[in-house]
Structure 1
Amino acid sequence: MSDTERPDRAVEPSSFSVRDLLAESLAGLLQRPARSALTALGTVLGVGTFVAILGLTATTSSQIDARFSVLTATEVTVEDVAREQDPYAPMAFPRNADQRIEGLAGVEHAGVFWSVRTGPDMRVHASLGGGSADGTGEDAALVAASPGVLEAAVPHLSQGRIFDAYHEKHADDVAVIGSGLAERLGVTTLETHPAIFVGEQPFTVIGIIDDVRRKADLLSSVVIPRSTALGLYGEPQDTPAKMLVSTRIGAAQQIAAEAPTALRPDHPGYLKAVPPPDPKSLRSHVTDDLSQLFLLLASICLVIGAVGIANTTLVAVLERTAEIGLRRALGARGRHITVQFLAESAALGALGGLIGTSLGTVTVVAVAVARDWTPVVHPSTVATAPVIGLVTGLVAGLYPALRASRIQPAEALRR
Structure 2
Amino acid sequence: MLGVGTFVAVLGLTATASTQINERFNVLSATEVTVESAPQDESGVDSPFPVDADQRVKRLNGVEHAGIYWPVQLDQTLAVHSAPVNSLAADTQIRVVAASSGVLEAAEPLLTQGSLFNTWHDDDAQRVAVIGTGMAARLGITTLETQPAIFIGDEAFSVVGIIDNVRRKADLLLSVVIPRSTAEEMWGPPASDVKMIISTRLGAAAQVAAEAPIALDAAHPDHYKVIPPPDPKALRTQVTGDLDQLFMLLAFICLFVGAVGIANTTLVAVLERTGEIGLRRALGARGHHIAAQFLVESGILGALGGLIGTTFAILTIASVALARNWTPVIDLEIVAAAPLLGWATGLLAGLYPAWRASRIQPIAALRR
TM-score above 0.5: yes
- Matched residues in 1 for 2:48 and 2:266: separation? 74
Deviation for aligned residue 1:312 = 3.7
Deviation for aligned residue 1:250 = 2.9
| Structure 1 residues 122 and 372: alpha-carbon distance in aligned structure 2, compared to 1, 3 A threshold | farther
Q: Is 1:124 the counterpart of 2:124 in the alignment? A: no
Picking from 276, 281, 285, the partner of 1:323 is: 276
Q: Which has the larger radius of gyration?
A: 1
For 1:203, the equivalent position in structure 2 comes to 157
Q: Is 1:91 the counterpart of 2:46 in the alignment? A: yes
- Matched residues in 1 for 2:185 and 2:264: separation? 78
- Matched residues in 2 for 1:245 and 1:373: separation? 29
TM-score after normalising by structure 2:
0.80
Deviation for aligned residue 1:267 = 6.5
For 1:256, the equivalent position in structure 2 comes to 209
Paired residue secondary structure (1:109): strand
Which consecutive residues of structure 2, in runs of 5 or more, have no partner in the other structure?
none
Would the aligned equivalents of 1:111 and 1:146 in 2 still touch at CA under 8 Å? yes
- Matched residues in 1 for 2:35 and 2:350: separation? 62
For 2:333, the equivalent position in structure 1 comes to 380
Would the aligned equivalents of 2:205 and 2:228 in 1 still touch at CA under 8 Å? no
For 2:197, the equivalent position in structure 1 comes to 244
Picking from 246, 259, 268, the partner of 1:306 is: 259
For 1:146, the equivalent position in structure 2 comes to 100
Q: Is 1:362 the counterpart of 2:315 in the alignment? A: yes
Would the aligned equivalents of 2:117 and 2:179 in 1 still touch at CA under 8 Å? no
Q: 1:388-409 CA distances to partner (integer Å, 9 max, x unpaired)?
A: 1111110111233234334444
Alignment of 1:28-39 (within 5 A): none
Would the aligned equivalents of 1:253 and 1:276 in 2 still touch at CA under 8 Å? no
Would the aligned equivalents of 2:7 and 2:255 in 1 still touch at CA under 8 Å? no
Q: Is 1:54 the counterpart of 2:54 in the alignment? A: no
Amino acid at match of 2:175: S
Amino acid at match of 1:55: G
- Matched residues in 2 for 1:67 and 1:160: separation? 26
For 1:109, the equivalent position in structure 2 comes to 65
- Matched residues in 1 for 2:189 and 2:292: separation? 82
Paired residue secondary structure (2:4): helix
For 1:8, the equivalent position in structure 2 comes to none
Would the aligned equivalents of 2:33 and 2:226 in 1 still touch at CA under 8 Å? no
Amino acid at match of 1:101: V
Would the aligned equivalents of 1:329 and 1:409 in 2 still touch at CA under 8 Å? yes
Paired residue secondary structure (1:185): coil
- Matched residues in 1 for 2:265 and 2:134: separation? 61
Q: 1:144-200 CA distances to partner (integer Å, 9 max, x unpaired)?
A: 112332343455775466242x5545544333345675674255238x6x5421233
Would the aligned equivalents of 2:4 and 2:338 in 1 still touch at CA under 8 Å? yes
Q: 1:282-333 CA distances to partner (integer Å, 9 max, x unpaired)?
A: 4433432332222212212222332333344334434444432331221223
Would the aligned equivalents of 1:93 and 1:263 in 2 still touch at CA under 8 Å? no
| Structure 1 residues 52 and 233: alpha-carbon distance in aligned structure 2, compared to 1, 3 A threshold | farther
- Matched residues in 2 for 1:315 and 1:360: separation? 28
Amino acid at match of 2:181: S
What RMSD, in angstroms, separates the aligned Cα atoms of the two structures? 3.7
Paired residue secondary structure (1:394): helix
Deviation for aligned residue 1:349 = 1.8
Larger CA deviation: 299-308 vs 387-396: 299-308
Amino acid at match of 2:45: P
Which consecutive residues of structure 1, in runs of 5 or more, have no partner in the other structure?
1-43
Alignment of 1:160-239 (within 5 A): 162-164=117-119, 167-169=121-123, 171-178=125-132, 184-185=140-141, 188-189=144-145, 195-205=149-159, 207-210=160-163, 214-219=168-173, 221-233=175-187
Q: 1:245-302 CA distances to partner (integer Å, 9 max, x unpaired)?
A: 1234432111112334544654627513222651x44443343233222221221222
- Matched residues in 2 for 1:406 and 1:179: separation? 73
| Structure 1 residues 353 and 118: alpha-carbon distance in aligned structure 2, compared to 1, 3 A threshold | farther
- Matched residues in 1 for 2:257 and 2:128: separation? 65
Would the aligned equivalents of 2:150 and 2:156 in 1 still touch at CA under 8 Å? yes
Aligned length: 362
Percent of matched pairs sharing the same residue: 58
